[in-house]
Structure 1
Amino acid sequence: MLQFGFCVMSLGCASVSGSFSFQIHHRFSDQVKTVLGSHGLPEMGTLEYYETLVHRDRGRRLTSNNNQTTVSFAQGNSTQEISFLHYANVTVGTPAQWFLVALDTGSDLFWLPCNCKSSCIRSMETDQGERIKLNIYDPTISTSSSKVPCNSTLCALRNRCVSPLSDCPYRIRYLSPGSRSTGVLVDDVIHMRTEEGEPRDARITFGCSESQVGLFEKTAVNGIMGLAIANIAVPNMLAKAGVASNSFSMCFGLKGKGTISFGDKGSSDQLETPLSGTLSPPFYDVTITEFKVGSVTVETEFTAIFDSGTAVTWLIEPYYTAVTTNYHLQVADRRLPARVKSPFEFCYIITSATDEEKIPSISFEMQGGATYNVFSPVLVFDTSDGGQVYCLAVLKEVTAGFNIIGQNFMTNYRIVHDRERMILGWKESDCNDKNGFTGPTASANPPSLPPTPSPRARSPSTRLNPLAASSLLILCFFSFICL
């Protein structure tokens, strides 16, 4: 969720070693449905599934060296996605309390629901009908919590303070209309551990969110962990505390499986490009010097944001037309009629003559010369008459004014966000993780869930397989196509 603006001062940073890792799962993945239930959720890979994700994108719009010690959150390395963001099971405070916190590379401040009334979402229901209570952070209960006063160098809204010793307020506005979080800043402990179980706690500053409105009134947001560039983001605070290097990676595989690792600076054989640093506030934006669609190479230069919270890829003009037109001119299959409802403009009917090897590929050449190959630029949907269509999963951006590389173009990569070297790295990965999946229950501490189900057998086609083509962070409902 890209953040429109926030009102907190930045923290300093330091360079240290160490890494945290945990597994991430999409809200609509089979693994998460096993835990949270599937009532009202779209079937993964259907048109209803992707239409819901695109709708969410439109509403949300912007806001290692392998010898490092791997560290995870205290409850383990697992996460799960709720509604439209990926969540980690994070424990904070003394005594420790768990929260399902959204992982967001498009915002900076980490905030938890706190001292809120009707604006907080407090529960969710499992398939078994069990109502799970979500925790609300209470600084009066945590013995390690302390308020950030208005005379602190961290307080940016001093002009709104009654006195120098008043609680420092904060306010974050997101690009989704009317979506914001407001409250006060607090300090407390976030609990981490090594893979061997050794505690690695860090004292951090975060928002005690007393009000969440707009988008947060409709989805089960139990807090947001900002992962963007600013110093107040969690990666920098972990580095400042000496717990992990100021870098992290996110990996997204097929069927909602993935990992995130704090302190991960990538590997020596990864490809990489410098962050452009052309946007304010800063994001993980890179410079693309040319792109190739099928056999056609287009030499042009533009910047694009890699945003893990956006479902599909959005391009502004003239880049949208350049990509989609060159793609369309090289497709032999019949285009889906314009009368058919679809969020994507370029969709094609799959027949017995469809040859996946002839479907155009897409790649980008980044500043510095490294090539970024998109594994699956298409999404495949079943039609109401029993057929299938495939769509180029790129949408035209007309409001934000910048290009966004969405999650569908990141599938099968481990993306490294190295904030010390200011580079974006990538390496092909199946995103496997040896640790199990953990989720919330009605008990005080979330226990381990059953092992993650084995992946379903895939057809020989990977680019035309609905599961293989799907993106982890795509979160929209789709209606079936009617031909």
Structure 2
Amino acid sequence: MAHSSCLALALAVAAVLAMAAVEVSGLGFDLHHRYSPIVQRWAEERGHAGVSWPAGAEVIGSPEYYSALSRHDHALFARRGLAQGDGLVTFADGNITLRLDGSLHYAEVAVGTPNTTFLVALDTGSDLFWVPCDCKQCAPLGNLTAVDGGGGPELRQYSPSKSSTSKTVTCTNNLCDQPNACATATSSCPYAVRYAMANTSSSGELVEDVLYLTREKGAAAGAAVRTPVVFGCGQMQTGSFLDGAAADGLMGLGMEKVSVPSILASTGVVKSDSFSMCFSKDGLGRINFGDTGSADQSETPFIVKSSHSYYNISITSMSVGDKNLPLGFYAIADSGTSFTYLNDPAYTAYTTNFNVQISERRANFSGSTRSGPFPFEYCYSLSPDQTTVELPIVSLTTNGGAVFPVTSPVYPIAAQMTNGEIRIIGYCLAVIKSDLPIDIIGQNFMTGLKVVFNREKSVLGWQKFDCYKDEKMTDDGSSVGSPSPSPGPTTHVFPQPQESDSPVGRTPIPGAAPVPRSSSAAAGGRAGFRLLSSMALLLLAAAAAAVF
């Protein structure tokens, strides 16, 4: 059997949560996973504690935790209607990203003069950026405290009349898609976005105002960029938006011209209508607006299948260890989905061929799940002293022949013993049989890669990448230009699991530049901010699971 080098299953949660908004080459931008302590605190202060932490999911890495993530994915599918310049710029320093129901990450962004701060959901499956504004019906407002280890900003409505840089978007604007609803050509352009999930919608008027960004690279790294963008003044929210799903707004990263990436490209803030996401193996990552990747990256074209502007690609075959599986199917590349979802015959072919190449015994962890069905079918137990595991190499061959490597096909399972000790007791193949007529390549398949969503060339690009050093990696896992490791399997020792309620503060990544607090204006650039993915939050469990 062909196997990869030994894979470390445990991830240090507290160390990851403490990583701050710093970039190796400039400013960074924090994103926080839905079930992080920061999101829990934010949700409790806004009266949405039940949305943030379902029963049993508050202990990270437990079967309940994975069940809650699976429910999040299905809520996201429903909301989307699937169920049945030069260089990089980023959001201004101090902006933070969080995620609640229906979204995997949130970003704290600032708009207007003086600026108003919002925690907006990031969504690659929609287009419009909107925030609560002159509210007739919005989610409850509150005060966010101690988000970054100190006092947080007050969360409030945006009001065009209180911003000196706000401008009306009239019905003649090319971003107005409802001109027939206008009384006159000079009227404010109305918008209405309706989602399939539980009568969820946002409506109001389009406005133009400044969004605060910072340049990430080059001589002006860290310089502030105030760029005008068109977004929704969300006066009326309904459904799940009133209960914590995008309570402070939503930023669409889709392909349409009204999305923030499209606006940044069309106004020249970035040179290319493209953005990249980089997910490191410890769960941290970055998103860079304007990034087209490198000339030697792998690429496959987007496939337009319907009116939905999703990032569809074509898979022609799968490789699992020594088995090549000639399967053809379309899939959505979606970093906002926690796991990867496959339909048959791809699901059965992948899981059964993976299973026969695993030496550990099958395990059943579903018995301790209280927050919903346990999502994974193929799980395995570890012996008490086992710290490493060998896995078959997994890859996808895409339309055009480019190979998409899957560097993190499994999730670790941890349990708290009767003596209070927390131990890694097993792992699961992190693929779920889809109950939808679609296949989705989720965030877990993107770990260890920089994935480029190039809307200008209509291609998806990827490359093994070191998100810390901002450089590509060789196939053996070393940075380009660094000495290659000796042949043979590499042993990774499990880090000691950390408590999930560890203090969250702003600490620098080793070797990274500190975060300056720049206030000067600059033009042009590409954008980057940090991602905290579900991959970093898989260590702790509430109770010992049934291993056999």
Structures share fold, TM-score greater than 0.5:
yes
One-letter amino acid of the structure 2 residue matched with residue 450 of structure 1: R
**Which of 92, 115, 121 is the aligned partner of 2:134?**
115
Q: Specify whether residues 170 and 21 from structure 1 end up closer, same or farther in structure 2 by C-alpha distance, changes over 3 A only.
A: farther
Gap regions ≥5 residues in structure 1: 1-18, 435-447, 456-469
Q: Specify whether residues 222 and 117 from structure 1 end up closer, same or farther in structure 2 by C-alpha distance, changes over 3 A only.
A: same
One-letter amino acid of the structure 2 residue matched with residue 432 of structure 1: Y
Deviations 1:164-218 (A, max 9, x none): 4443221222343332222211122223232424443322211111122333223
| Structure of greater relative contact order (alpha carbons < 8 Å, 6+ residues apart) | 2
Structure 1: how far apart are the matches of 2:105 and 2:365? Answer: 34
Structure 2: how far apart are the matches of 1:449 and 1:290? Answer: 44
For the 8 Å contact 1:173–1:179, the answer to whether it is kept is yes
Structure 2: how far apart are the matches of 1:80 and 1:27? Answer: 8
TM alignment of 1:137-286, pairs within 5 A: 137-195=158-216, 196=220, 197-219=222-244, 221-244=247-270, 245-286=272-313
State the partner residue of 1:52. 68
* Structure 1 position 154, deviation (Å): 3.2
Q: Aligned to 1:26, what secondary structure does the other structure show?
A: strand
Structure 2: how far apart are the matches of 1:42 and 1:31? Answer: 9
Structure 2: how far apart are the matches of 1:428 and 1:150? Answer: 45
Deviations 1:21-68 (A, max 9, x none): 7434333687957996999573443333322211111111162xxx95
* Structure 1 position 301, deviation (Å): 1.5
The count of residues paired between Structure 1 and Structure 2 equals 433
Q: Aligned to 2:225, what secondary structure does the other structure show?
A: coil
One-letter amino acid of the structure 1 residue matched with residue 65 of structure 2: Y
* Structure 1 position 348, deviation (Å): 1.8
Gap regions ≥5 residues in structure 2: 1-24, 418-422, 471-503, 512-532
State the partner residue of 1:320. 347
Moved more, 184-193 or 214-223: 214-223
* Structure 1 position 375, deviation (Å): 1.1
State the partner residue of 1:381. 413
Structure 2: how far apart are the matches of 1:96 and 1:162? Answer: 31
For the 8 Å contact 1:105–1:307, the answer to whether it is kept is yes
Structure 1: how far apart are the matches of 2:167 and 2:61? Answer: 46
TM-score (norm 2): 0.70
Does residue 336 (structure 1) correspond to residue 352 (structure 2)? The answer is: no
Identity, in percent, stands at 38
State the partner residue of 1:443. none
For the 8 Å contact 1:328–1:346, the answer to whether it is kept is yes
**Which of 383, 386, 411 is the aligned partner of 2:447?**
411
Q: Specify whether residues 79 and 28 from structure 1 end up closer, same or farther in structure 2 by C-alpha distance, changes over 3 A only.
A: same
Q: Specify whether residues 286 and 478 from structure 1 end up closer, same or farther in structure 2 by C-alpha distance, changes over 3 A only.
A: farther
State the partner residue of 1:394. 431
Q: Aligned to 1:144, what secondary structure does the other structure show?
A: coil
Let me know the Cα RMSD of the aligned residues.
Answer: 3.6
One-letter amino acid of the structure 2 residue matched with residue 317 of structure 1: D
* Structure 1 position 406, deviation (Å): 0.8
For the 8 Å contact 1:25–1:31, the answer to whether it is kept is no
Does residue 26 (structure 1) correspond to residue 32 (structure 2)? The answer is: yes
* Structure 1 position 130, deviation (Å): 6.4
Structure 1: how far apart are the matches of 2:137 and 2:204? Answer: 15
Q: Aligned to 1:425, what secondary structure does the other structure show?
A: strand
* Structure 1 position 397, deviation (Å): 1.8
Q: Specify whether residues 173 and 186 from structure 1 end up closer, same or farther in structure 2 by C-alpha distance, changes over 3 A only.
A: same
Q: Aligned to 1:365, what secondary structure does the other structure show?
A: strand
Q: Specify whether residues 94 and 337 from structure 1 end up closer, same or farther in structure 2 by C-alpha distance, changes over 3 A only.
A: closer
Q: Aligned to 1:115, what secondary structure does the other structure show?
A: strand
State the partner residue of 2:459. 423
**Which of 70, 89, 101 is the aligned partner of 2:88?**
70
